[in-house]
Structure 1
Amino acid sequence: MSFVLIYVCVFTVRFPSLYSFTCQLQGQFNLNGIHQTGDVILGGLFSVNVFSTVPDLSFTSEPQESVCYGFHPSGFRQAQTMAFAIDEINRNPNLLSNVTLGYSLYDNCNELAKGFRAAMSLISGQAGEMISEKTCVGLPVLGIVGDSFSTSSIAISTVVGLYRVPLVKLFANKIVLSTKNSFHHFLGQFPVRAMIQILKHFGWTWAGLLISNDDYGVHAARAFLSDLGPIAGGCLAYIEVLPLGNNRAELNRIVNVIRKSTASVVIVFAVKGHTLNLMAEVVRQNLTGLQWMASEAWTSVAELQTSDFMPYLGGTLGIAIPRGEISGLRNFLLKIRPVPKQNNTSGYNMVNQFWEHIFKCRFAPPPEGWLETGGQLCTGQEVIETVLEEEFFDVSDLRPEYNVYKAVYALAHALDDMLQCEPGRGPFSGDTCAQLQGLEPWQLMFYLEKVNFTTSFSDQVSFDENGDALPIYDIMWVSAKSDEELMIDENKIFWNFVFKQPPRSVCSESCPPGTRMAHKKGEPECCFDCVPCSEGNTPIVRANNSELSYLLLMSLKLCFLCSLLFIGRPQPLTCQLRHAAFGISFVLCVSCILVKTMVVLAVFKASKPGAEASLKWFGAVQQRGTVLVLTCFQAVICTVWLVLASPAPHKNTQYYSDKIVYECAIGSTVGFGILLGYISLLAVLSFVLAFLARNLPDSFNEAKLITFSMLIFCAVWVAFVPAYISSPGKYADAVEVFAILASSFGLLVALFGPKCYIILLKPERNTKKAIMGYRC
Structure 2
Amino acid sequence: MSLFSWFFTLWHSSASSLLLVGLVGRQLGLRVGLQVAQTATCSRWSTPSDQGLFQDGDVVIGGLFNIYNKPSAIDHDFTQLPHLLAIYRNCIKILTNTSLISLNSFLCGHSLENLPLQYVYAMVFALEEINHSTTLLPGVKLGYRIHDSCAFPLWAVQAALSLAAGNSTSCDQPVPLIIGGDSSITAQILSRILGPLSVPLMSYTASCPCLSDRHQFPNFFRTIPSDIYQAWAIGRLVIHFKWTWIGAVLENSDYGLTAIKGAGVCLAFVETLNRENIVSEVRRAALIIQASTARVILVFTWYTDARELFVTDRQFLASEAWSTSGDLLQSRVTSQVASGVVGVAIRSSTIPAFENYIRSLNPSHRPDDKFLREFWEKVFGCTSLPLCNGTESLEGVQNHFTDTSQLRVTYNVYLAVYAAAHALHSLLSCSHRENSPEKNTSTCYFPKHIKPIELLQYLSNLNVTTPQGDLFYFHGADIPAKYDLVNWQKTPEGSLKLVLIGHVDGFDIHLNESAIQWSTGSNQIPVSVCSESCPPGTRMANRKGEPVCCFDCIPCAEREISNKTDSLQCERCPPEFWSNVERTACIPRQLDFLSFDDALGITLTTTAVSGAMVTTAVFVVFLYYRQTPVVRANNSELSFLLLLSLKLCFLCSLVFIGRPSDWSCWLQQAAFGISFVLCVSCLQVKTIVVLAAFRSARPGAEALMKWFGPGQQRGSVCLFTFIQVIICIIWLTLSPPVPQPDLDTPGLKVTLKCAMVSVLGFSLVLGYIGLLACTCLLLAFLARKLPDNFNEAKLITFSMLIFCVVWVSFVPAYVSSPGKYAVAVEIFSILTSSYGLLLCIFAPKCFIILLRPEKNTKKHLMAR
Shift of 1:334: 3.5
Shift of 1:460: 1.8
Q: Distance in 2 between matches of 1:235 and 1:545?
A: 26
Kindly indicate whether residue 313 of structure 2 is the aligned counterpart of residue 289 of structure 1.
yes
Shift of 1:535: 6.1
Larger RCO (CA within 8 A; separation ≥ 6) = 1
Shift of 1:456: 2.7
Amino acid at match of 1:455: T
Q: Distance in 2 between matches of 1:207 and 1:521?
A: 20
What's the counterpart of residue 376 of structure 2?
355
Q: Distance in 2 between matches of 1:497 and 1:551?
A: 50
Q: Distance in 1 between matches of 2:40 and 2:464?
A: 45
Greater mean alpha carbon deviation, residues 182-191 or residues 81-90: 182-191
What's the counterpart of residue 406 of structure 1?
415
The 5 A counterparts of 1:318-397 are: 318-338=343-363, 349-360=370-381, 385=394, 388-397=397-406
Q: Distance in 1 between matches of 2:433 and 2:352?
A: 38
Q: Distance in 1 between matches of 2:161 and 2:557?
A: 71
Kindly indicate whether residue 139 of structure 2 is the aligned counterpart of residue 98 of structure 1.
yes
What's the counterpart of residue 445 of structure 2?
435
The 5 A counterparts of 1:754-773 are: none
What's the counterpart of residue 248 of structure 2?
209
User: Of residues 84, 88, 97 in structure 2, which corresponds to 1:54?
Assistant: 84
Give secondary structure in 1 for the equivalent of 2:519.
coil
Q: Distance in 2 between matches of 1:479 and 1:429?
A: 52
**Kept after mapping to 2: 8 A contact 1:449/1:463:** yes
The superposition leaves residues 592-622 of structure 1 with CA deviations (integer Å, 9 ceiling, x where unpaired) of xxxxxxxxxxxxxxxxxxxxxxxxxxxxxxx
Q: Distance in 2 between matches of 1:215 and 1:293?
A: 18
Amino acid at match of 1:298: W
The superposition leaves residues 487-534 of structure 1 with CA deviations (integer Å, 9 ceiling, x where unpaired) of 322221112216541111112112346654332333322122345666
The superposition leaves residues 365-409 of structure 1 with CA deviations (integer Å, 9 ceiling, x where unpaired) of xxxxxxxxxxxxxx9999985773434233222221111111111
The 5 A counterparts of 1:427-576 are: 433=443, 435-436=445-446, 437-464=448-475, 466-476=476-486, 477-497=500-520, 500-512=523-535, 515-531=538-554, 537=560, 549-550=574-575
What's the counterpart of residue 67 of structure 1?
107
Kindly indicate whether residue 158 of structure 2 is the aligned counterpart of residue 117 of structure 1.
yes
User: Of residues 52, 55, 58 in structure 2, which corresponds to 1:36?
Assistant: 55
Amino acid at match of 2:46: Q
Q: Distance in 2 between matches of 1:312 and 1:393?
A: 28
What's the counterpart of residue 84 of structure 1?
125
CA RMSD of aligned residues (A): 4.5
Q: Distance in 2 between matches of 1:199 and 1:119?
A: 41
TM-score of the two chains, using structure 2 as the length reference: 0.52
Shift of 1:257: 1.3
The superposition leaves residues 102-150 of structure 1 with CA deviations (integer Å, 9 ceiling, x where unpaired) of 11111111121111111111111135544xxxxxxx6111111123323
**Kept after mapping to 1: 8 A contact 2:540/2:569:** no
What's the counterpart of residue 736 of structure 1?
none
Q: Distance in 2 between matches of 1:273 and 1:429?
A: 57
Give secondary structure in 1 for the equivalent of 2:154.
helix
Equivalences, count: 505
TM-score of the two chains, using structure 1 as the length reference: 0.57
**Kept after mapping to 2: 8 A contact 1:45/1:144:** yes
**Kept after mapping to 1: 8 A contact 2:248/2:270:** yes
Q: Distance in 1 between matches of 2:734 and 2:370?
A: 97
The superposition leaves residues 640-667 of structure 1 with CA deviations (integer Å, 9 ceiling, x where unpaired) of xxxxxxxxxxxxxxxxxxxxxxxxxxxx
Give secondary structure in 1 for the equivalent of 2:399.
helix
**Kept after mapping to 1: 8 A contact 2:149/2:159:** yes
Kindly indicate whether residue 422 of structure 2 is the aligned counterpart of residue 417 of structure 1.
no
Greater mean alpha carbon deviation, residues 492-501 or residues 310-319: 492-501
Shift of 1:75: 0.8
Kindly indicate whether residue 301 of structure 2 is the aligned counterpart of residue 301 of structure 1.
no
Kindly indicate whether residue 236 of structure 2 is the aligned counterpart of residue 189 of structure 1.
no
Instruction: Look at both structures and tell me which one has the larger radius of gyration over its CA atoms.
Output: 2
Shift of 1:416: 0.8
**Kept after mapping to 2: 8 A contact 1:480/1:487:** yes
The superposition leaves residues 323-377 of structure 1 with CA deviations (integer Å, 9 ceiling, x where unpaired) of 1111122332234333799x85xxx932332223224479xxxxxxxxxxxxxxx
**Kept after mapping to 2: 8 A contact 1:143/1:167:** yes
Give secondary structure in 1 for the equivalent of 2:483.
strand
Greater mean alpha carbon deviation, residues 164-173 or residues 33-42: 164-173
The 5 A counterparts of 1:592-607 are: none
What's the counterpart of residue 241 of structure 1?
272
What's the counterpart of residue 126 of structure 1?
167
The superposition leaves residues 39-66 of structure 1 with CA deviations (integer Å, 9 ceiling, x where unpaired) of 1111111111113673544699999776
The alpha-carbon distance between structure 1 residues 94 and 545, as it changes in their structure 2 partners (threshold 3 A), is closer
The alpha-carbon distance between structure 1 residues 519 and 114, as it changes in their structure 2 partners (threshold 3 A), is same
The superposition leaves residues 190-217 of structure 1 with CA deviations (integer Å, 9 ceiling, x where unpaired) of 5112111111211111211111233422
What's the counterpart of residue 251 of structure 1?
282
The alpha-carbon distance between structure 1 residues 546 and 105, as it changes in their structure 2 partners (threshold 3 A), is closer
Amino acid at match of 1:195: I
Q: Distance in 1 between matches of 2:406 and 2:734?
A: 78
Q: Distance in 1 between matches of 2:91 and 2:139?
A: 53
Shift of 1:265: 0.8
**Kept after mapping to 2: 8 A contact 1:124/1:140:** yes
Q: Distance in 2 between matches of 1:60 and 1:408?
A: 36
Q: Distance in 2 between matches of 1:633 and 1:250?
A: 88
Stretches of structure 2 that go unaligned for 5 or more consecutive residues are 1-36, 72-82, 96-102, 487-499, 580-585, 592-660, 663-731, 740-864
Q: Distance in 2 between matches of 1:26 and 1:412?
A: 26
**Kept after mapping to 1: 8 A contact 2:465/2:471:** yes
Q: Distance in 2 between matches of 1:117 and 1:58?
A: 21
Q: Distance in 1 between matches of 2:247 and 2:326?
A: 24
**Kept after mapping to 1: 8 A contact 2:52/2:371:** yes
Q: Distance in 1 between matches of 2:568 and 2:213?
A: 55
The superposition leaves residues 9-38 of structure 1 with CA deviations (integer Å, 9 ceiling, x where unpaired) of xxxxxxxxxx9x997648732323101001
Kindly indicate whether residue 302 of structure 2 is the aligned counterpart of residue 261 of structure 1.
no
